[in-house]
Amino acid sequence: MGMRSLFVSFAISFSLALSADGFHQQSAHQQAQGSRDSATILHALGLRARPDVRKMNVSQAEYSKKMNMYLKRTKRSTTEPRRLFTFHPESVDRGQNGEVLLKFRPVDFDETDGASLKMLVAGATDVKVYQRSDNGSDETLINSKELSQSGTPIWVDSYLVPRDNYQSISSNRSESGLILRVSCGSDCQVFEPVLNAVRLVGVGRSKRHAEGLIGRTDCAGLPNRRPSGRLSARRVGSRGRNPDRQRCCRNKMNVIFKELPGYDFVVAPYSFDLGYCGGGCPYRYNPGTRHATIQSLMFQTGKGNAPRPCCAPSKLAPLEILHLDDEDPKQLKTTTWDNMQVIECACF
Ligand SMILES: *[C@@H]1O[C@H](CO)[C@@H](O)[C@H](O)[C@H]1NC(C)=O
Ligand SMILES: *[C@@H]1O[C@H](CO)[C@@H](O)[C@H](O)[C@H]1NC(C)=O
Ligand SMILES: *[C@@H]1O[C@H](CO)[C@@H](O)[C@H](O)[C@H]1NC(C)=O
């Protein structure tokens, strides 16, 4: 099984487990299956329990300390060095019904990997964060969060929109900067709001793409290239159907943890190139093992009903992640997940 399909099945079982927890609509069998899958995944990820994001209470001091340590440590192993920038609001105004208006000076979101608003909220049961347009007539809900305990102050993180949509909040376009409205009830108080942005630094976009994680089997470097990028449903289905059109190679596949069901406890990296292997394995093409060489020959000569070898990861790299800690709601923790990124592909 390829890394990609493994990962996809992770995500599917995770969402199964989540919906089983959340809605109690499945049969007992499905629920048992769901929680078993969930336990297996958590074990594989080195976690005892899935951290309950609602109970987490990570202060800005803890966040910036651990994030800076994480970024420093992963600097050597990445061609995409990142830095944390923290912005304080230019003004904080109280509006009607206890809502809070936060105004940030224009922030250039170009090259931003992930950004979130962090604040200490007291006296709220739920927090909603909206982004206002320049003229104040338009609003977009960017985050909605239920809090497990009301009353007690708790640190709340609101992730702004995913990387691809940063144009829409890029205050480059707006002279008034970024305006966020926090709605959390009439008795609610908001303390120490800041905007944390993790940005790519030091390497230009074009250079980054050229140097990436590229191994010798990267599709972009091969003559029979096809567009690579986000995985589309169409491409999943057509994978390997026309094996001679593209030979076995590594495609890029960008993963944003906040968009994966059940992975909202991951704080960094915000996104990374998971990669996947695709393409055909014509006769003697890039065998991963001696076994594949012989199987390829068996297929070619029509002996023993051997199928054509399949394209799969031959080299994987670990990924260091910064995440919420299931044992301590006030801390962030670093864990290394093995075999998380495809570096090279071969025929097996
Ligand atoms: C306010 O700005 C938005 C775009 O940011 C635009 O769609 C809308 O028409 C504007 N409204 C007014 C009253 O100018
Ligand atoms: C969260 O942490 C703050 C200090 O950073 C503390 O004052 C507050 O009581 C904590 N809240 C909860 C629910 O533990
Ligand atoms: C953003 O600002 C930069 C320089 O400040 C400018 O070159 C660029 O065209 C601007 N982009 C947009 C979308 O306005």
Looking at every residue in the chain, the average pLDDT score rounds to: 77
CA of residue 169 to ligand 3 center, whole Å: 13
Residue 253: pLDDT band by 50, 70, 90 thresholds?
very high
**Shortest-distance atom of ligand 2 to CA 149:** 13
CA of residue 137 to ligand 1 center, whole Å: 6
CATH fold of 3-56+203-347: Cystine Knot Cytokines, subunit B (2.10.90)
Three-state secondary structure of 96-149: HHHCEEEEECCCCCCCEEEEEEEEEEECCCEEEEEEECCCCCCEEEEEEEECCC
Q: Are strands 311-324 and 266-268 parallel, antiparallel or unpaired?
A: antiparallel
Residue 12: pLDDT band by 50, 70, 90 thresholds?
very low
Instruction: Considering every ligand atom shown, identify the ligand nearest to the alpha carbon of residue 134 and give its number.
Output: 1
The mean pLDDT of 179-206, rounded to a whole number, is: 83
The mean pLDDT of 160-176, rounded to a whole number, is: 56
Distance set, CA 68 to CA 15, 96, 173 (Å)? 31, 37, 29
The mean pLDDT of 71-94, rounded to a whole number, is: 86
The neighbour count for residue 27, using CB atoms within 10 Å, is 9
CA of residue 138 to ligand 1 center, whole Å: 7
Q: Name residues whose C-beta falls within 8 Å of residue 228's C-beta, 6 or more positions apart in sequence.
A: 219, 220, 251, 252
CA of residue 164 to ligand 1 center, whole Å: 22
One-letter amino acid identity for 177?
A: G
Q: Is residue 60 scored above 90 in pLDDT?
A: yes
Q: Is the CB of 168 under 6 A from ligand 3?
A: no
CATH hierarchy code of domain 82-200: 2.60.120.230
Instruction: Considering every ligand atom shown, identify the ligand nearest to the alpha carbon of residue 109 and give its number.
Output: 3
Judged by phi (left if over 0) then psi (alpha if -120 to 50, else beta), residue 283 lies in beta
Higher pLDDT, 89 or 174: 89
Token pair 């089983």: residue: 20
Residue 145: pLDDT band by 50, 70, 90 thresholds?
confident
Distance set, CA 7 to CA 2, 114, 223, 341 (Å)? 9, 22, 28, 10
Q: Name residues whose C-beta falls within 8 Å of residue 60's C-beta, 6 or more positions apart in sequence.
A: 86, 118, 155, 192, 194, 196
- Pocket probe for ligand 3: among 172, 173, 174, the residue whose CB has the most ligand atoms within 8 Å is 172
The mean pLDDT of 309-320, rounded to a whole number, is: 94
What pLDDT sits at residue 326?
Answer: 82
What is the share, in percent, of the chain residues with pLDDT greater than 90?
Answer: 35
pLDDT digits (tens, 9 = 90+) for 95-126: 877 789 998 887 777 778 888 999 999 988 88
Q: Is the CB of 135 under 6 A from ligand 1?
A: yes
Q: Is residue 1 scored above 50 in pLDDT?
A: no
CA of residue 153 to ligand 2 center, whole Å: 5
Task: Based on DSSP, count helices (H) and strands (E) in the chain, helices before strands.
Answer: 7, 16
343 vs 289: CA distance, rounded Å: 17
Instruction: Considering every ligand atom shown, identify the ligand nearest to the alpha carbon of residue 136 and give its number.
Output: 1
342 vs 345: CA distance, rounded Å: 7
| Out of 29-33, 64-68, 144-148, 314-318, least confident range | 29-33
- Pocket probe for ligand 1: among 131, 133, 140, 175, the residue whose CB has the most ligand atoms within 8 Å is 133
Same fold, 3-56+203-347 and 82-200: no
For residues 274 and 254, is the Cβ–Cβ distance under 8 A? yes
Q: Is residue 155 scored above 90 in pLDDT?
A: yes
Q: Is the CB of 97 under 6 A from ligand 2?
A: no
What pLDDT sits at residue 9?
Answer: 38
Q: Is residue 168 scored above 50 in pLDDT?
A: yes
Question: Any idea how long the chain is?
Answer: 348
Higher pLDDT, 178 or 153: 153
131 vs 161: CA distance, rounded Å: 10
Residue 224: pLDDT band by 50, 70, 90 thresholds?
low
pLDDT digits (tens, 9 = 90+) for 260-308: 888 889 999 988 889 999 999 999 899 999 999 999 999 999 888 889 9
Instruction: Considering every ligand atom shown, identify the ligand nearest to the alpha carbon of residue 139 and give its number.
Output: 1
For the chain, what are the domain ranges? 3-56+203-347, 82-200
What pLDDT sits at residue 125?
Answer: 81
Higher pLDDT, 343 or 81: 343
